[in-house]
């Protein structure tokens, strides 16, 4: 069903050790495997009349955790690059950021401050197509905090596994290195 993407091209990424990245890739592969496993079990339960049971209910809830863990990691790895260049201030994305945050500097400060908050989770620059606005939002535990209908444009993993092996408790240093590795063209391509 779902197949884990390969991100070996990120090995050697400045500010991220290969050991940290390889461990992170393995964790992501587990989300893909568990998404497939739970989807298969749920399909079997549908066929055998096992819906409506407490096990079925818990698997339904767990599917959201595994699926979102898979997808958020894909967004995260996809928006990193070894050849990062600053966001073009004349790009469509930059103009949308300025429209939503008043300046690129305020956007950067808000994104980094959101990532530095205590707790585990994700920081997502989300685009609300209906209002035409961008928001930096906090997602905790993969499946809580998503803005319904909003498109994730930029995703930063702030679970400890994303940084603690290289940075210890210095999350802000990790965030700086993440910021310097953003593939802005890929982020902008998500803005449709």
Q: Which residues lie closer than 8 Å to 104 by C-beta, 6 or more apart?
A: 87, 89, 94, 97, 98
- Give the pLDDT of the chain (192 residues) as one tens digit per residue: 999 999 999 999 999 999 999 999 999 999 999 999 999 999 999 999 989 899 999 999 999 999 999 999 999 999 999 999 999 999 999 999 999 999 999 999 999 999 999 999 999 999 999 999 999 999 988 777 777 888 999 999 999 999 999 999 999 999 999 999 999 999 999 997
Can you tell me the distance from the alpha carbon of 49 to that of 65, in angstroms, rounded to the nearest whole number? 24
Q: Assess if residue 6 is contained within a domain.
A: no
- Shared domain for 21 and 63, answered yes or no, is yes
- Shared domain for 73 and 103, answered yes or no, is no
pLDDT of res. 57? 92
Can you tell me the distance from the alpha carbon of 131 to that of 102, in angstroms, rounded to the nearest whole number? 16
State the total domains in the chain.
2
- Shared domain for 43 and 109, answered yes or no, is no
- Shared domain for 69 and 111, answered yes or no, is no
- Shared domain for 106 and 160, answered yes or no, is yes
Helix-then-strand count for the chain, H and E: 7, 3
148: which 2 tokens?
Answer: 């319904």
- Shared domain for 104 and 52, answered yes or no, is no
Q: Are the C-beta atoms of 5 and 74 separated by less than 8 Å?
A: yes
pLDDT of res. 76? 98
pLDDT of res. 52? 87
52: which 2 tokens?
Answer: 């409506």
The DSSP call for residue 9 is: G
């Amino acid at each position: 069903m779902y197949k884990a993407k390969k991100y070996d091209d990120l090995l050697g990424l400045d500010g991220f050790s290969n050991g940290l990245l390889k461990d992170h890739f393995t964790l992501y592969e587990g989300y893909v495997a568990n998404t497939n496993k739970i989807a298969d079990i749920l399909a079997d339960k549908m066929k055998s009349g096992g819906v409506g049971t407490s096990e079925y209910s818990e698997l339904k809830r767990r599917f959201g955790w595994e699926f979102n863990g898979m997808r958020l990691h894909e967004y995260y790895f996809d928006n990193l690059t070894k050849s990062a260049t600053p966001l073009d201030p004349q790009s469509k994305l930059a103009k949308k950021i300025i429209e939503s945050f008043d300046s690129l500097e305020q956007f950067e400060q808000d994104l980094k401050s959101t990532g530095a908050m205590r707790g585990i989770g994700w920081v997502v620059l989300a685009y609300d197509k209906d209002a035409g606005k961008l928001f930096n939002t906090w997602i905790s535990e993969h499946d809580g905090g998503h803005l319904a209908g909003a498109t994730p444009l930029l995703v930063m993993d702030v679970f400890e596994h994303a940084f603690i092996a290289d940075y210890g408790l210095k999350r802000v240093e990790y965030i700086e290195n993440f910021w310097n590795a953003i593939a802005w063209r890929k982020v902008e391509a998500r803005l449709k």
